[in-house]
């Protein structure tokens, strides 16, 4: 039963929405959106435009059915207004799609640029030495959409900002509090950098052989950000020594006798700090391990009796906003859904 549920969500976890392949997108106008059109919309559950299909229009209101995405499993229905429709993909269009939505591609600042010289001064200083307006702290997930040919692809990437001016592009495998910065610079320098903020601009200085200075527009929206025009949600952080109550599963593909098989990795957490891990090997034999866990911020530390391991963790809320029993958990970039 658990595997059946997990299998349903594989498409949404991939975040590649090949179904939006009919046409050139156009900016939404109420006169353009028709029944059958595929659109990107905002809803009462999300301010991030996500793909859907218009299934009815009643008294200037649009009834849409959501397509699979990071937020929705698919088939959820909402009644929305015209202003909530952001892009329209007409169902009957004769023109091939050549459009490409900017996913916030980096813009290099040449060393000779006057702003570049000014920015380097900011980046060389510690962000903690400035005021709070120039400091970011925590994990942010940035969402965007782009086209590959006729396919609309929803993408997301993470940035972990440290208040001392460092930034890591991605999810630290060992968790942000356990990140060995010196080792990370050696192993993956292109993911490591520093940042500085000037007004409504954030400047990144990435390391590595292809070191470059990159500037993006920055807007603050409560706890969240807008980075280069794309929404970046701040991940909720767990209080120190927080506890989770629930069983969470993530689909995993293993090869059995030369054939791919969908199975599950399952974590069962209890409020007394214990955790059980269950997964299958290549012979489909169930392997179980028991241990303990500790939570703090966006770090989780496991101890299964053979040493401690740590990972990056954050909840992804749907209807339930509880940190004790969230609907979804991201553990090292893998999405685990709560089993009912």
DSSP letter string, 239-286: EEEE---EEEEEEEEEEETTEEEEEEEEEEE-TTSEEEEEEE-TT--E
pLDDT for 225 equals: 93
* Spatial contact of 230 and 216, defined as CB atoms under 8 Å apart: no
Please tell me the distance from the alpha carbon of residue 77 to that of residue 75, in angstroms, as a whole number. Answer: 6
- Tokens 């920015």 appear where? 119
One digit per residue, pLDDT tens: the chain, 340 residues? 443 333 334 333 333 333 344 344 444 444 468 888 887 788 876 667 777 889 989 888 999 988 876 667 778 889 998 888 877 766 543 333 333 333 333 333 333 333 233 333 233 333 443 445 578 999 999 987 666 666 767 778 899 999 989 999 999 999 999 999 999 999 999 999 999 898 888 999 988 766 678 889 999 988 899 998 888 999 999 999 999 999 999 998 888 888 888 899 999 999 999 999 999 887 788 899 999 999 999 999 999 999 899 999 999 875 557 888 898 999 998 999 999 7
C-alpha Rg value of the chain to the nearest Å:
22
Tokens of 224: 């969240």
Please tell me the distance from the alpha carbon of residue 299 to that of residue 11, in angstroms, as a whole number. Answer: 28
pLDDT for 4 equals: 39
Nearest to 155 by CA among 281, 310, 51, 300: 51
* Spatial contact of 33 and 80, defined as CB atoms under 8 Å apart: no
Cα diameter, the chain:
63
Please tell me the distance from the alpha carbon of residue 230 to that of residue 141, in angstroms, as a whole number. Answer: 10
Which secondary-structure segment (H or E) carries 210? none
- Tokens 């991201």 appear where? 330
* Spatial contact of 235 and 141, defined as CB atoms under 8 Å apart: yes
Nearest to 106 by CA among 159, 152, 27: 159
What is the model's pTM?
0.62
Which secondary-structure segment (H or E) carries 145? strand 138-148
Q: Give the start-end residues of each E strand in 36-122.
A: 38-41, 50-58, 61-66, 77-80, 85-89
Q: Kindly report the length of the chain.
A: 340
Please tell me the distance from the alpha carbon of residue 139 to that of residue 158, in angstroms, as a whole number. Answer: 7
Phi and psi (nearest 5°) for 80? -130, 165
- Cα dihedral 168, 169, 172, 177, rounded to 10, equals 30
């Amino acid at each position: 039963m658990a595997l059946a549920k997990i299998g349903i969500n594989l498409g949404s976890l991939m975040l590649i929405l090949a179904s939006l392949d009919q046409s050139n997108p156009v900016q939404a106008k109420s006169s353009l959106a028709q029944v059958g059109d595929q659109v990107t919309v905002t809803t009462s559950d999300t301010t991030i435009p996500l793909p859907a299909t218009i299934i009815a229009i009643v008294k200037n209101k649009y009834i849409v059915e959501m397509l699979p995405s990071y937020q929705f499993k698919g088939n959820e229905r909402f009644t929305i207004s015209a202003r909530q429709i952001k892009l329209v993909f007409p169902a009957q269009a004769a023109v091939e799609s050549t459009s490409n939505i900017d996913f916030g591609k980096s813009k290099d600042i040449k060393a000779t640029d006057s702003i570049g010289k000014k920015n380097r001064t900011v980046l060389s200083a510690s962000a903690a030495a400035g005021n709070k307006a120039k400091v970011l702290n925590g994990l942010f997930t940035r969402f965007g959409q782009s086209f590959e040919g006729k396919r609309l692809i929803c993408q997301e990437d993470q940035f972990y900002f440290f208040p001392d001016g460092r930034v890591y592009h991605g999810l630290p495998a060992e968790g942000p509090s356990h990140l060995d910065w010196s080792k990370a610079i050696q192993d993956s320098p292109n993911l490591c950098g520093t940042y500085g903020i000037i007004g409504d601009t954030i400047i990144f200085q990435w390391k590595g052989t292809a070191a470059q200075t990159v500037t993006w527009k920055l807007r603050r929206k409560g706890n969240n950000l807008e980075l280069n025009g794309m929404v970046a949600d701040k991940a909720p952080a767990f209080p120190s020594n927080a506890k989770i109550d629930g069983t969470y599963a993530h689909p995993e593909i293993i090869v059995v006798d030369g054939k791919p098989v969908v199975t599950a990795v399952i974590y069962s957490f209890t409020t007394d700090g214990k955790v059980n891990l269950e997964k299958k090997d290549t012979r489909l034999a169930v392997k179980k391990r028991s241990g303990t866990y500790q939570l703090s911020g966006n770090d989780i530390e496991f101890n299964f009796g053979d040493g401690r391991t740590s990972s990056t963790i954050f909840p992804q809320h749907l209807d339930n906003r509880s940190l004790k029993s969230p609907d979804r958990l991201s553990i090292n970039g893998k999405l685990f859904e709560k089993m009912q």
